[in-house]
């Protein structure tokens, strides 16, 4: 099968480093200045040898490595895909099990949230119960961050000033953020909810419940259970807000 596999690139090994006598691994650097950790194989690679990398290229998994005609590891496209599917299924099953096992501590985290944020989390679960195990914990973290930001910055001006701070200053102002490990998208979502919580201008705590799930751009409203699935809820919430005042 490897003989007919044409999805590869060949590169010249320019250096070998970090040889581990216990595991047999080492790091090779090739003539395009990329480095790669090589597992134990038939021999220790040497500068000047040719490394053939099987796969789709930069940004994708290397599914095969042949050095000077000797196979260090190899999977066909079909084998590689099948293993990825198995590993993904195993990860998802582990997440489901962990979700069930952590029901009590998760409920305690929800109960500790201010009421609008509790309603937000429970709303997603109510609208998409079958997939809550995959998304609920992420949204709880967003709400924890938003509530902490609002506690430290209770006015719209304070929230706006907060987002202009350098990261060390943000963490000093809201220490909990250091523990939550938010992504950029997650931080933006938390700040948006904190703005809603101020109730100033066009903001209102009711919008906390109606805004999209932080993972909606990745998975879509249907899977995460956005309030937009309930016809008219967002329009009704927006219509109930004052027409004047500072925008978000």
The pLDDT of residue 228 is 83
The whole-angstrom separation of Cα 178 and Cα 165 is: 15
Burial class (CB in 10 A: 0-12, 13-18, 19+), 121: buried
DSSP the chain: -GGG---EEEEEEEEEE---TTT--EEEEETTS-EEEEPS-SS---TT-EEEEESS-TTS---EEEETTEEEEE--HHHHHHHHHHHHHHHHHHHHHHHHHTHHHHHHHHHTS-HHHHHHHHHHHHH-GGGHHHHHHHHHHHHHHHHHHHHH--SHHHHHHHTTS-HHHHHHH-THHHHH---HHHHHHHHHHHHHHH--TT--THHHHHSPPTTHHHH-HHHHT-GGGSTTHHHHHHHTS-SSS---
Task: Tell me: do 233 and 137 sit in the same domain.
Answer: yes
Same domain, 13 and 136: no
Does 98 reside within a domain? no
pLDDT exceeds 50 at position 118: yes
Structure tokens at 37: 């950790």
- Domain for residue 246, yes or no? no
Verify that 41 and 155 share a domain, yes or no: no
Average pLDDT, the chain: 91
Does a structural domain hold residue 31? yes
Q: What is the pLDDT of residue 231?
A: 58
Same domain, 47 and 128: no
CA distance 178 to 96: 26
> Does the residue 84 lie in any domain?
no
Both 199 and 153 in a single domain? yes
In terms of Cα–Cα distance, which of 186, 171, 109 is closest to 140? 109
pLDDT of residue 237 exceeding 90: no
Domain boundary among 40, 62, 78: 78
185 & 65 share domain: no
Instruction: Give the pTM.
Output: 0.69
**Domain total of the chain:** 2
Structure confidence at residue 248 (pLDDT) = 33
Burial class (CB in 10 A: 0-12, 13-18, 19+), 99: middle
The pLDDT value recorded for residue 87 is 96
Domain region containing 214: 104-239
229 and 139 in a single domain? The answer is: yes
Q: Is 91 part of a structural domain of the chain? A: no
Are 44 and 157 part of one and the same domain? no
Please give the pLDDT value at position 244.
33
Q: Are residues 157 and 64 in the same domain?
A: no
Same domain, 211 and 162: yes
| pLDDT the model gives residue 42 | 94
Flag whether 89 is in a domain.
no
Per the domain annotation, does 86 fall within a domain? no
Q: What is the pLDDT of residues 197-209, one digit of tens each?
A: 999 999 999 999 9
Residue 88 lies inside a defined structural domain of this protein: no
Radius of gyration of the chain (CA): 25
- How many angstroms separate the Cα of 84 from the Cα of each of 63, 218, 242? 11, 20, 51
Per-residue model confidence (pLDDT) at position 232: 55
How many C-beta atoms surround the C-beta of residue 78 within 10 A?
9
Domain check: are 120 and 229 in the same one? yes
Given a cut of 90, whether residue 235 has pLDDT beyond it is no
- Shared domain for 111 and 229, answered yes or no, is yes
Record the tokens describing residue 42, joined without a space: 């038939």
């Amino acid at each position: 099968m490897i003989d007919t596999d044409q999805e590869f690139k060949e590169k010249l090994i320019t250096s070998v480093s970090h040889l581990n006598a216990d595991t047999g691994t080492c790091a090779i650097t090739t003539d395009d200045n990329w480095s790669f950790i090589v597992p134990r194989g038939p021999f220790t690679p040497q500068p000047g040898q040719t490394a053939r990398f099987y796969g789709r290229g930069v940004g994708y998994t290397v599914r095969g490595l042949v050095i000077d005609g000797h196979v260090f590891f190899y999977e066909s496209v079909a084998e590689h895909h099948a293993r990825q599917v198995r590993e993904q299924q195993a990860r998802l099953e582990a997440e489901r099990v962990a979700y069930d096992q952590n029901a009590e501590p998760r409920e305690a985290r929800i109960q500790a949230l201010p009421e609008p944020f509790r309603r937000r989390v429970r709303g997603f679960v109510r609208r998409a119960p079958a997939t809550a195990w995959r998304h609920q914990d992420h949204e709880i973290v967003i709400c924890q961050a938003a509530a902490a930001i609002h506690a430290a910055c209770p006015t719209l001006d304070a929230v706006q000033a907060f987002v202009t701070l350098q990261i060390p200053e943000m963490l000093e102002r809201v220490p909990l953020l250091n523990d939550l490990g938010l992504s950029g998208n997650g931080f933006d979502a938390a700040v948006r909810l904190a703005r809603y919580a101020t109730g100033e201008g066009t903001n209102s705590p009711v919008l906390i419940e109606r805004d999209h799930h932080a993972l909606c751009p990745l998975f879509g409203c249907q899977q995460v259970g956005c309030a937009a699935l309930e016809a008219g809820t967002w329009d009704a919430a927006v219509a109930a807000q004052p027409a004047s005042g500072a925008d978000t």
